[in-house]
Amino acid sequence: GAGVSQSPSNKVTEKGKDVELRCDPISGHTALYWYRQRLGQGLEFLIYFQGNSAPDKSGLPSDRFSAERTGESVSTLTIQRTQQEDSAVYLCASSYLPRDQPQHFGDGTRLSIL
Amino acid sequence: GENVEQHPSTLSVQEGDSAVIKCTYSDSASNYFPWYKQELGKRPQLIIDIRSNVGEKKDQRIAVTLNKTAKHFSLHITETQPEDSAVYFCAAPIIQGAQKLVFGQGTRLTINP
């Protein structure tokens, strides 16, 4: 079956612009995560959705970052007024259950802020 | 909150030797421990996982051991090959509160020919 799909695969934009990143999880997966990975660094947790529960936003680095998910479907991560330090790969992952099932990652969106 | 500590951050071994990466976790109720491999420019991919009802699991050259008393688990790679060079991440779940999977900081493994 289809894996986690992310779009766009690459995004280049000017500082100060808003960007929207999309994640299509595996069908039936209730949990969805967003991570940021800077070059050569680890997985920085951003936000986590579980079913219809309130999302865990504890990893969002500033109020310029927000994310939405409707039910158990597509999620979008929005970065407003982008800064150069936002340049990174943004990875989405989904799992059938949140804590004791493997996460399946998408290929990520490589975001470059000029 | 939950901490997952991973060591070492970098590891270099000769081809054919073994590599061991260790992770410790803080939530004693954690019951699932996956390991991911991330090759350069690629997404993290699950390579092996273990649940708390067993102490060891093997898959060809890869094994994971779990010590629930000490709250640590380790990845063992035997007979290392150049294609094992990658970044490896461990993870453990938070059972209380948010109930999510938390990742370690990663280990960059280099296999020297």
pLDDT tens-digit map of A59-111: 999 999 999 998 888 999 999 999 999 999 999 999 987 677 899 999 999 99
Q: Which residues 64-103 of A are in CB contact (within 8 Å) with B?
A: 91, 95, 98-103
Banded model confidence at residue A24, pLDDT cuts 50, 70, 90: very high
Q: According to the model, what pLDDT value does residue A111 have? A: 98
Strands B56-59 and B32-38, by their bridges, are unpaired
Q: What is the mean pLDDT of residues B45-52?
A: 94
A95 and B93 in contact by Cβ < 8 A? no
pLDDT value, residue A72: 80
Question: What's the residue count for chain B?
Answer: 113
User: Which of residues B30 and A112 earns the better pLDDT score?
Assistant: A112
Q: What contacts 24+ positions apart, CB below 8 Å, involve B10-14? A: B10/B107, B10/B108, B10/B109, B10/B110, B11/B107, B11/B108, B11/B109, B11/B110, B12/B109, B12/B110, B12/B112, B13/B80, B13/B109, B13/B110, B13/B111, B13/B112, B14/B80, B14/B111, B14/B112
CB contact under 8 Å between B100 and A101, yes or no, is no
Is pLDDT of B96 > 70? no
| Better-scored residue on pLDDT, B101 or B75 | B75
Contact check, Cβ <8 Å, A99/B102 = no
Alpha carbon of A105: minimum distance to chain B alpha carbons (Å): 6
Selecting from A31, A33, A105 the residue whose C-beta is nearest the C-beta of B43 gives A105
| Contact (CB<8Å) B100/A33 | yes
| pLDDT score for B16 | 97
Q: Does A6 touch chain B (CB under 8 A)?
A: no
A-interface mutation test, from B21, B43, B48, most A Cβ less than 10 A away: B43
pLDDT band at B17 (very low <50, low <70, confident <90, very high): very high
Residues in chain B closer than 8 A to A41 (CB atoms)? 106
Q: Report the alpha-carbon distance of residue B32 to residue B18 in Å, rounded.
A: 24
Percentage, residues of chain A above pLDDT 70 = 98
What is residue A68's predicted lDDT score, i.e. its pLDDT?
96
Are A95 and A51 spatial neighbours (Cβ–Cβ below 8 Å)?
no
- Taking the mean position of all CA atoms in its chain, how far away is CA A60? 11
The yes-or-no verdict on residue B63 having pLDDT over 90 is yes
Q: Rounded mean pLDDT of chain A?
A: 93
When pLDDT is cut at 50, 70 and 90, the band that residue B13 belongs to is very high
